Amino acid sequence: MEMKKKGKAASSLLVGLGLLVMLGACSSKTTGGGATTAEGNKPAAKEGNVAAASDWAEKNGLNKTETTDELYAKAKGEGKVVVYSQSSRIKDVKATFEAKYPGVKVEAFNMSTNDIVEKVIREQGAGIYNADVIFVKDAIGAVTTELTTKKLVHKYIPKDLSDKMVEPYKSKSSGLVPYFSLRAIFYNTDVYKTSPITNWWDLTQPEWKGKVLLNDPIDSADMMDLFLAMVQHSDEMKQAYKDKFGKDIVLNGTENAAYEFIKQFLKNDPVLMKSSDEVVEAVGVSTQGKPPIGIGASSKLRDVIEKKLSIAATYDVKPKISVVGPSYLYVADKAPNVNAAKLMIRYMAGEADGKADGFKPFNVMGSWSTRIDNGRTDQPAIDKLSVWDYDSDYFYKNFVKFREFWLKMQ
């Protein structure tokens, strides 16, 4: 396995920068061409448009708690619900939802987070309101910055659901988060009884040269979020270095311990893969005497039994395991089937009793429910995870700087 060449990564960089510019341009159209911010390259939403969107949300009861029967009666009149989903598992939701609620068809579109953000901005900028439910992660803070702040999507968290949720998802979230996942360190259980990695700095050592597999953060927003969290908490990466080596870190042309870690990590020749599926399969079926370590989506643990993988994730890593990756449910602005949207969000969040089939496809090993009544018991409890919080504002403001550093170091 060889590391991807810089040319491909640079191409991805250009695509990403193009998307960023396009998002800004489309946002300007969406908001009526509002004035630019002090940063000079990010259009500010017109207050009038944001207020109008907020009025629409209030008039359509997004701040209310209605019963399932009330919503279903109205949803049958609408006839369908359109979902833009970041997960292919939405097909399972479609099947059970339509069986439970005859007369309400589900039109589900499975797309990447970037594609969802782009599509919503383009459509609403053109006055097209097609989507009802947006199911998405806040990749590098783009959803919060480009969608929620500008009221292209709306928060909907009924009280009978929020009463069962833990903080910060109970009252401090921009949307309903039914669960979150992580970027986890995977190891082969045929060779290792416990994880050989207990400190992120372990991955910079000669014994792991060319033996760490991960998604390229230039192509994977979730992977980039993990590195951005390290940069944000560089003081903790500094302490982790001292914990590992027994001495203070000496920076070699980098601005902090996190960037120094990334520099040394890249010098150790990690192998960049296209997907977490490739990562976990390569680690879990390896026949090498010393199999590789993988960094990938924790939710891939659901494949262990199905694909007969000899793999596990480690939950004891200094300074933190990872950064949380919340998955959000929103009602799209001016959703044409708003009652069906509310019904679907309740369904995917488990409903009031936490038992609705709509949550089952996501209640898998490596994902953590944000509720107190329907989480898994075969993995560490949500309050036992040593993780960094997701800071959308920091990630959005710093991802270009990180990306340039990553490409320069390759």
* pLDDT at 31 > cutoff 50: no
* pLDDT at 225 > cutoff 90: yes
**Backbone phi, then psi, for 215, in 5-degree steps?**
-70, 140
Residue 290: pLDDT band with limits 50, 70, 90: confident
SS3 of 143, please? Answer: helix
* pLDDT at 333 > cutoff 60: yes
The larger pLDDT score, comparing residue 294 to residue 22, is at 294
pLDDT computed for residue 77 by the predictor: 97
Q: What is the pLDDT of residues 368-387, one digit of tens each?
A: 999 999 999 999 999 999 99
> Among 18-27, 39-48, 169-178, which is the least confidently predicted range?
18-27
Q: How far apart are CA 112 and CA 90, in angstroms?
A: 13
The larger pLDDT score, comparing residue 43 to residue 377, is at 377
Residue 37 is encoded by which pair of tokens? 């911010």
Task: With beta carbons less than 8 A apart as the criterion, state whether 155 and 174 touch.
Answer: yes
Helix axis angle, 113-125 relative to 6-30, nearest 10°? Answer: 30
Which domains can be identified in the chain, with CATH numbers? 6-180+325-379 (3.40.190.10), 183-323+402-409 (3.40.190.10)
> Per-residue pLDDT averaged across 314-338, rounded?
97
Residue 48: pLDDT band with limits 50, 70, 90: confident
Beta-carbon contacts of 294 under 8 Å, excluding residues fewer than 6 positions away, are 185, 186, 187, 212, 213, 214, 279, 280, 282, 283, 311
Tell me which H or E stretch contains 369: strand 367-369
Q: What is the pLDDT of residues 245-287, one digit of tens each?
A: 999 999 999 999 999 999 999 999 999 999 999 999 999 887 7
> Per-residue pLDDT averaged across 389-410, rounded?
95
> Per-residue pLDDT averaged across 337-351, rounded?
98
> Per-residue pLDDT averaged across 48-66, rounded?
93
Task: With beta carbons less than 8 A apart as the criterion, state whether 234 and 259 touch.
Answer: yes
> Per-residue pLDDT averaged across 183-206, rounded?
96
- Torsion over CA: 144, 147, 150, 152 (sign): negative
Q: Is the pTM of this model over 0.85?
A: yes
pLDDT computed for residue 302 by the predictor: 86
> Per-residue pLDDT averaged across 126-155, rounded?
95
Residue 19: pLDDT band with limits 50, 70, 90: low
- Mean pLDDT for the chain overall: 89
**Burial status of residue 35 (CB atoms within 10 A of its CB: 0-12, 13-18, 19 or more):** exposed
> Per-residue pLDDT averaged across 237-248, rounded?
98
* pLDDT at 143 > cutoff 50: yes
pLDDT computed for residue 205 by the predictor: 98
